[in-house]
Amino acid sequence: RIFQSASDASKAVAEEIAELIKQRQKEGKNAILGLATGSSPKTVYAELIRMHKEEGLSFKNVISFNLDEYYPMQPDAIQSYWRFMREQLFNHVDIPEGNYHIPDGTVSPQMLAQHCEEYEKMIEDAGGLDFQLLGIGGNGHIGFNEPGSHENSRTRLMMLDHSTRAAAKADFGGELTKVPKKAITMGVSKILSAKRVVLLAWGERKAPKIADAVEGVVSEHNPASYLQQHPNALFVVDEAAASEL
Ligand code: GLP
């Protein structure tokens, strides 16, 4: 779906998420959301906060799992995705603490494999993802599944591409050496297991990878292209990101 602006698009996506939450409330069930960081979802979160404050949308029945976290990373560091999610959404709505999950950037190397396995198990035990929100990296990555990630990949430690680290540099005081070399990411298979997947992309910079992901061959070279194989995936883009379609 192509929208005139990121703002119109974000409202439509927030509306869909709100409908899901309310539907699950009616059924007396939890809504299990997969959430993303990066600049793209910020406007969706802002709209959800508005709906909470002005329309009484409650997040009490929301259980969420974030896609990724840098490794290593302290939760209170400025660049942590833990902090990002609290500042951009969780601190402003009534989601109970304990209902949101983010991969732990402080886990010891010895415990990493177990942590990743437990993260997937928590998602399964919650009933699986009803909805997965995604951004897209300049190289086509989803979460931190860099090019080369297999469609069956599981939650794991990923070496970040140079281009990914360069794009993140500004968040780390402009110093590439300060950008972590690794991150924990939910695997492609878990992302694809969500009942609904919505990928957001704004701006011309994303246009080539969007065109390739939507119209090109499905390939590990562009992990976003795996969404072509999903029965209920939607790319939500503004006109600039759609310009090469
Ligand atoms: C990071 C995140 C991704 C996100 C990407 C794009 O790499 N791990 O999940 O999609 O950035 O970010 P932005 O939305 O700021 O372009």
**Residue 103 Cβ < 6 Å to ligand 1:** no
Whole-number Å distance, alpha carbon 29 to ligand 1 midpoint, is 30
Find the mean pLDDT for residues 186-196.
Answer: 98
2-238 is classed in which CATH architecture? Answer: 3-Layer(aba) Sandwich (3.40)
**Residue 136 Cβ < 6 Å to ligand 1:** yes
Find the mean pLDDT for residues 191-219.
Answer: 98
* pLDDT for position 120: 98
Alpha carbon distances (Å) from 78 to 63, 81, 110, 145, 168: 24, 9, 25, 22, 13
* pLDDT for position 72: 98
Alpha carbon distances (Å) from 138 to 32, 56, 124, 164, 222: 27, 36, 30, 7, 10
Average pLDDT of the chain? 98
Please report the ipTM that was assigned to this predicted complex: 0.94
Q: Where are the domains of the chain?
A: 2-238
Q: Which two tokens stand for residue 109?
A: 């190397």
**Residue 242 Cβ < 6 Å to ligand 1:** no
Whole-number Å distance, alpha carbon 25 to ligand 1 midpoint, is 30
Distance, C-alpha 42 to centroid of its chain: 11
Whole-number Å distance, alpha carbon 198 to ligand 1 midpoint, is 14
Whole-number Å distance, alpha carbon 109 to ligand 1 midpoint, is 24
* pLDDT for position 143: 98
Tell me the pLDDT tens digit for each residue of 97-148. 999 999 999 999 999 999 999 999 999 999 999 999 999 999 999 999 999 9
**Residue 89 Cβ < 6 Å to ligand 1:** no
Please give the positions annotated as active site. 146
Q: Whose C-alpha lies nearest to ligand 1, atom 10?
A: 135
Distance, C-alpha 189 to centroid of its chain: 14
* pLDDT for position 51: 98
Tell me the pLDDT tens digit for each residue of 58-95. 999 999 999 999 999 999 999 999 999 999 999 999 99
Ligand 1 atom having least distance to the Cα of 205: 16
Q: Which two tokens stand for residue 40?
A: 């793209």
* pLDDT for position 112: 98
Pocket perturbation via mutation, ligand 1, pick of 37, 39, 161, 186 by most ligand atoms within 8 A of CB = 37
* pLDDT for position 123: 98
Amino acid at 22: K
Tell me the pLDDT tens digit for each residue of 15-38. 999 999 999 999 999 999 999 999
Q: Whose C-alpha lies nearest to ligand 1, atom 5?
A: 137
Q: Is the peptide bond prior to 72 cis by the omega test (within 30 degrees of 0)?
A: yes
57 pLDDT tier (thresholds 50, 70, 90): very high
Find the mean pLDDT for residues 46-51.
Answer: 98
**Residue 187 Cβ < 6 Å to ligand 1:** no
